[in-house]
Structure 1
Amino acid sequence: MKHLLILFCAFFFVAFTATNAQAQCNTDLYNNLALKKLAPGYTFVKSYRIDGKGGSRKKIEYTCVFSKGTDYMIRMAGKDGGPNGLIATLYDSRRSQLATSYLNNKYYDGLTFKCASTGIYYLSFTFKDSNSYCGAAVLGFRR
């Protein structure tokens, strides 16, 4: 009887853990959607996971090295396949804002940036009025 009780408890533990795993952020799905939004002529460089861990992470930030004279395009996808609730912001090495995907209360699916100076840049993703806290972005370049 004791073995049956242990087996029963183990079964429910595994079942409960599996249910939680399915609720995690699947950025691969959103990555493919964002990749399709990259304009012709841009070469894919990198994809970015945007996992807000159910709202516990309000800001996800990545460091990028951009080259002078190069055009960069960032495209995003979230829960509905679009950018709603997801904001990308690009900062220079002094943390001055250069571009954002949220302007005049409107979400855009990304941004395009012409690099004027080779150096380190910061790409930040934040959530606004979102319940999803999940998405992906891709970076492409064109010379």
Structure 2
Amino acid sequence: AMQDNTNILQKFLDTDILKMDLILITINTHLRGEHWILGIIHLKLKMIIILDSLLSLDERKEHFLCLLQITYLCYNASNYCNETSLKFDLSEWQCVYANDSIQQSNMFDCGLYVCLHAFCFITDTYFFNTPSNDGREWLYYNSPII
């Protein structure tokens, strides 16, 4: 386990980030700062995907912009660390707001749904919905997999 932010930064610099398929990013929204969504940068498909368990459309443009900026920074970091000159061309990228993401039925399970969305996306399984307590139990017993 990494002990501090220096190790995290070093891990990032030691990795050719653009050779990865996916970058998963949790985003805390402005919904009173109490809602979390999942942003996915799919480097191979050149696609930015947002999975939101409340389908809160208010800030999605801002979230896409943030994820695109992170993608741009990944290109710059990769070019610097690997002495390459890969170009980030915005016109090649597609932004997708997943309307089929599973939806929470209360106002406190967004963290659980971020984990469920990430698991389903990474394992290429269909999104599944589960009652809150069952979902938390599933997460507890499956956490070594994630």
TM-score under structure 2 length normalisation: 0.25
Larger RCO (alpha carbons 8 Å, 6+ apart): 1
Higher helix share: 2
Higher strand share: 1
